[in-house]
Amino acid sequence: MVASGTSPDVKPTSANTVEEIKAYLDAHQITYPSSALKADLLALVGGDRA
């Protein structure tokens, strides 16, 4: 499930919520620990984290 207003094909950034980032990772079958912090999740996305 992807949060409204968030496309599963657009990489999340620090402006996204943790839940939106997790939804992106789930949609792309990228695993992450349940205890992962926002910065850890963004690192898995591989996007720019200004």
- CA-nearest of 33, 35, 38, 32 to 14 is 38
pLDDT at residue number 50: 42
Q: What is the mean pLDDT of residues 27-50?
A: 87
Model confidence band, residue 49 (pLDDT cutoffs 50, 70, 90): very low
| 34 pLDDT above the threshold of 60 | yes
What is the predicted pLDDT for the residue at 4? 52
Q: Which residues contact 43 (CB under 8 A, 6 or more apart)?
A: 49
44 CB-near residues (< 8 Å, 6+ apart): 25, 30, 32, 36
